[in-house]
Amino acid sequence: MEKVIIIGSGPAAHTAAIYTARANLKPVMYEGLMAGGMPAGGQLTVTNDIENFPGFPDGISGQSLMSLMRQQALNCGTTIKTVTVNKVALNEKPFKVFAGMEEIQAETIIIATGATAKRLSISGEAHLWQKGISACAVCDGALPIFRDQILVVVGGGDTACEEALHLTKYASKVIMAVRRDVLRASQAMQNKVKKNAKIEIYWNTNVTEALGETKLKQVKIFNNRTEKNSVIDVGGLFYAVGHIPNTDFLQGQLKLDESGYIVTRPGTTQTSIDGVFACGDVQDKHYRQAITAAGTGCMAALETENYLDRE
């Protein structure tokens, strides 16, 4: 039986691993094998440079950052298995984890399986991804390619509004492409957007195609009320159409919110089942940053250690 099993492999999982390993809990991490279509190491492995993770004044590539975290987790004594967890049984203790052909018992589980940004799957998206198309304005907005450009944000929720407001710091203009004639975002957020002179909202608008050879140059848009297509010159396209938390394998055994995120007790990583902790994007639909994921990974490890001391 393992004292602690960590499921996932992003900054949250590796931070939890480093802390639990240093506390002699001999953590076993299931890092996944293209779990949810994402390489082991998580979302940062599919981006370029990370410029906002402290400690790297010149930035660092997402892949390098994740391999350093993985190496540190190994050096501290974590066992890492490159297998995806298909199922867990949390109804009685010890908990059971099913991964590949293995069935493992665990006193505690830390879930750090992250979330995946939804894409539109429009024509041109695949080859222009990260060449003008991004799903994270806070991460990428400050990059030189987006400076003084017209930028388009797709979506009408709180994230889209927050991203549009953030991008006004760099863009010459921000267009919000909203598919209906209302925003889903909170009233406070709507007010901020509507007051900002740099933001223009295109109502009833779907982005249907991304155009450009080596980088994004234009987008095709469709007005679903007038049924007219048009093409606009842009320097960037940012998706803010929601995320999908990777919680399917839980099969409803933990309390989730209406969007599928794991619910944790405020200020902690404690889930609805004692001894099961959740950290990183799988329980955070607000901040969704590497450093916040790492921070909650640390919390999950310390809370796991306290739980095992109490048991």
Q: Which residues bind ligand NDP (CB under 6 A)?
A: 120, 154-160, 162, 179-180, 184, 240-242, 285-286
Closer CB to ligand FAD, 85 or 301, in the complex: 85
The answer to whether 109 touches 254, Cβ cutoff 8 Å, is no
Binding window for ligand FAD (CB under 6 A); candidates: 30-38, 68-76, 153-161, 228-236:
30-38
Strand 102-111 and strand 276-278: the pairing is parallel
What residues between 93 and 152 interact with ligand FAD by CB under 6 A? 112-115, 117, 135-136, 139
User: 12 is in the binding site of which of ligand FAD, ligand NDP, none (Cβ under 5 to 8 A by kind)?
Assistant: ligand FAD
Closer CB to ligand NDP, 153 or 254, in the complex: 153
Give CA 30 to chain center in angstroms.
Answer: 18
CA atoms within a 13 Å half-sphere pointing along the CA-CB vector of 264:
24
Contact with ligand FAD (CB under 6 A): which of 2, 4, 11, 124? 11
Contact with ligand FAD (CB under 6 A): which of 24, 52, 229, 230? 52
User: 107 is in the binding site of which of ligand FAD, ligand NDP, none (Cβ under 5 to 8 A by kind)?
Assistant: none
136 included as an active-site residue = yes
**Residue 266 burial (CB < 10 Å; 0-12/13-18/19+)?**
exposed
User: 120 is in the binding site of which of ligand NDP, ligand FAD, none (Cβ under 5 to 8 A by kind)?
Assistant: ligand NDP
State the minimum distance, in angstroms, from the CB of residue 157 to ligand NDP: 2
The answer to whether 100 touches 83, Cβ cutoff 8 Å, is yes
**Euclidean distance between the first and final Cα of the chain, in Å?**
15
| Bond preceding residue 94 cis, omega within 30 of 0 | yes
**Which residue in 139, 161, 279, 281 is the catalytic one?**
139
User: 30 is in the binding site of which of ligand FAD, ligand NDP, none (Cβ under 5 to 8 A by kind)?
Assistant: ligand FAD
One character per residue 266-285, x = contact with ligand FAD (rule: CB under 6 A): --------------xxx---
Q: How far apart are CA 98 and CA 85, in angstroms?
A: 6
**Which residue in 49, 58, 76, 136 is the catalytic one?**
136
The answer to whether 262 touches 283, Cβ cutoff 8 Å, is yes
Calculate the alpha carbon distances from 65 to 50, 162, 179 in Å.
Answer: 8, 26, 37
Binding window for ligand FAD (CB under 6 A); candidates: 28-36, 69-77, 156-164, 200-208:
28-36
Strand 236-239 and strand 150-154: the pairing is parallel
Strand 173-177 and strand 95-99: the pairing is unpaired
The answer to whether 105 touches 1, Cβ cutoff 8 Å, is yes
User: 249 is in the binding site of which of ligand NDP, ligand FAD, none (Cβ under 5 to 8 A by kind)?
Assistant: ligand FAD
What residues between 199 and 228 interact with ligand FAD by CB under 6 A? none
Extract the tokens encoding 293.
């994921």
Determine the residue with CB nearest ligand NDP: 157
Residue from 40, 115, 28 nearest 82 by CA? 40
One character per residue 231-250, x = contact with ligand FAD (rule: CB under 6 A): ---------------x--x-
Strand 199-202 and strand 79-81: the pairing is unpaired
**Which residue in 49, 140, 257, 274 is the catalytic one?**
140
* Residues classed as catalytic: 136, 139-140
